[in-house]
Chain A
Amino acid sequence: MIPQAVLDQWYPVAMTSLVGPWPGRETQLLGRPIMVFKTQSGAVSVQTAQGQAVAVTLAYGHVWACLGTPAQDLFALPEAAQPGRRLVDCGVVRVKCSPLRAVENFLDIAHFPFVHTDVLGAEPHTEVGRYEVQIRDDVDEVWATKVHFYQPQAAKSAAGGIVTEYMYRVAAPTAAVLYKTCPNRTNEWDVIGIFVQPLAEDLCDVYPYMALFDDVTPQADLIHFQQMIFLQDRSILENQIPRLLPLDPGMEIPTQADLTSVAYRRWLKRKGLTYGAQVVAA
């Protein structure tokens, strides 16, 4: 049985630009087969195998679906509508891992120098300073702020190494966004996200997403950069043990760098969002 709280959340199920006519994208959500297609009037519809239409929202270049009754509106990402930003759809990558693991890895700051060597991090610049993590009750989201990190090439448009400031945000159970110092505009943040479609408890489709201030870099270069970063994570994600995300805080000892992950797990547990999680200690 899938908990009702899980069914009542929004999940990404397709890139809007690639949705075709019936039967459209035949995929699955939380283990259930669904079809994402354009109706004759041009609207996007999501149906279960039984022909039942489910709740749909189009936002941030993606189709979002909810199999139950939406517990809230889809999270707000006002930056996506900001003039001058380029929205970059980075395709979809399938990963044999828990959807929650994919989000947790995205939140893990300490892995940059080891996994994204010489791009997002470099030895010996491996230390993560103190930063702040909170579960914001007003928006019901997890936020990590004041994260500072040395990066050799923080973005496609960055010429050399810089200390980059980050904010991390868990905006939905399987959607996370990070804000980072924009190399081209000092008073703005670049927005990078991953939207994760839970196909099953240990299988997901991951849609990397970007909304950047960058008028120069060709679109294909931006896509390659983001895919390179994400694919460096894929092999690690597929080899994680245990495969499901443990929600029991006793199982792993947190360090400063893991605080965001701890908050994410606590938030999931509190909300009963256990799909892809291991609730009982192994």
Chain B
Amino acid sequence: MILYDYILSASCYKVRLMAALLGIKLDLVAVDFHPGRAHKSAAFRDLNPAGSIPVLVDGDLVLTESTAMLVYLAQIAGPQWLGEASPQSAARVQNWLAFSGRLNSSLGLARLHDMLHFPADITACRTAGHLCLRELEAHLTQVRLEGRIFLEGTAPSIADIACFPNVALAPDGGVELRDYPSVRLWQRAVRSLPQFIEMPGIHRLHDLKPAPHSGAAA
């Protein structure tokens, strides 16, 4: 299975993370997204007319939406990640997958603006990002009161993996998470999943523990 990948992309990381959690090995093909803008080249558009990354190729199957990739990977290697079987649960998972698109166009765009000079109305992006985070915080607080931690049901699902990257990377776009305690706790739960992998800007869990040898905030 080939993933056309960019190391700093939240959407690509989504797929890398899901694959890692499921124990699926991906063959990564690095796309020079920045500064080369190779995803907009004619050659790349032959593969994906939308000129976006990631792209997942498995034999004849070519997927260009990261949420569809999560569904595919889970179907192959871990159907329990698709959520519970009830119509309500299945639909709510789909709702979160769509919600992750809102996270990408708000928090994700703010990050690309601040970090890689993407053109954007930064104030509008951050405002929309905070609205998403408030929705998420309200939901996750309710979930916690019910004694659960993940977005849907009692176990982690593709809903969590779809939403996690752009939330965790929000500070890169100037959106701090300190006012969202339930979101932070949920992030910690995602980061403690077995076989969790990191990306630049998202550290592994041991960083949350105090440094073993010094009091300095290094």
Nearest-CB residue, chain B, relative to A110: B218
Binds B, one of A4-12, A45-53, A78-86, A87-95: A87-95
Using Cβ atoms and an 8 Å threshold, which residues of chain A touch B35? 15, 18, 89-92, 223
Do B34 and A91 touch across chains, with their CB atoms under 8 A apart? Answer: yes
Q: Does A241 contact B (CB under 8 A)?
A: yes
Do A232 and B200 touch across chains, with their CB atoms under 8 A apart? Answer: yes
Do A220 and B31 touch across chains, with their CB atoms under 8 A apart? Answer: yes
Using Cβ atoms and an 8 Å threshold, which residues of chain B touch A111? 218
Using Cβ atoms and an 8 Å threshold, which residues of chain A touch B172? 234-235
Q: Does B117 contact A (CB under 8 A)?
A: yes
Q: Does A42 contact B (CB under 8 A)?
A: no
- A-B CB pair tally, cutoff 8 Å: 67
Q: CA–CA, A220 to B9, complex, Å?
A: 14
Chain A 217-228 interface 0/1 with B at a Cβ cutoff of 8 Å (1 = within): 011110111011
Nearest-CB residue, chain A, relative to B212: A123
Q: Does A114 contact B (CB under 8 A)?
A: yes
Using Cβ atoms and an 8 Å threshold, which residues of chain B touch A241? 217
Do A231 and B30 touch across chains, with their CB atoms under 8 A apart? Answer: no
Chain B 19-40 interface 0/1 with A at a Cβ cutoff of 8 Å (1 = within): 0000000000011101110100
Quote the shortest CB–CB distance from A150 to chain B (angstroms). Answer: 18
Q: Does B116 contact A (CB under 8 A)?
A: yes
Nearest-CB residue, chain B, relative to A117: B204
Considering only CB atoms and an 8 Å cut-off, how many residues of chain B contact the other chain?
Answer: 25
Do A228 and B7 touch across chains, with their CB atoms under 8 A apart? Answer: yes
Nearest-CB residue, chain B, relative to A241: B217
Using Cβ atoms and an 8 Å threshold, which residues of chain A touch B171? 235, 238
Interface positions, chain B 183-218, Cβ under 8 Å from A, are 199-201, 204, 211, 217-218
Contact of A228 (CB < 8 Å), options: B114, B174, B200, B218:
B200
Using Cβ atoms and an 8 Å threshold, which residues of chain B touch A15? 35
Quote the shortest CB–CB distance from A138 to chain B (angstroms). Answer: 35
Q: CA–CA, A117 to B200, complex, Å?
A: 11
Do B30 and A223 touch across chains, with their CB atoms under 8 A apart? Answer: yes
Q: Does B1 contact A (CB under 8 A)?
A: no
A-B contact pairs, 30 of them (CB 8 A): A15-B35, A18-B35, A89-B35, A91-B34, A93-B116, A94-B114, A94-B115, A94-B116, A96-B114, A218-B30, A219-B36, A220-B31, A220-B38, A224-B6, A224-B7, A225-B7, A227-B7, A227-B8, A228-B7, A228-B8, A228-B199, A229-B200, A231-B201, A232-B201, A234-B172, A234-B200, A234-B201, A235-B201, A236-B218, A241-B217
Residues on A facing B (Cβ under 8 Å):
15, 18, 89-94, 96, 111, 114, 117, 218-221, 223-225, 227-232, 234-236, 238, 241
| A92-B35, A223-B30, A238-B171 given; 12 more Cβ-contact pairs under 8 Å | A91-B116, A94-B117, A96-B114, A220-B32, A220-B36, A224-B7, A227-B7, A227-B8, A227-B34, A228-B199, A235-B172, A241-B217
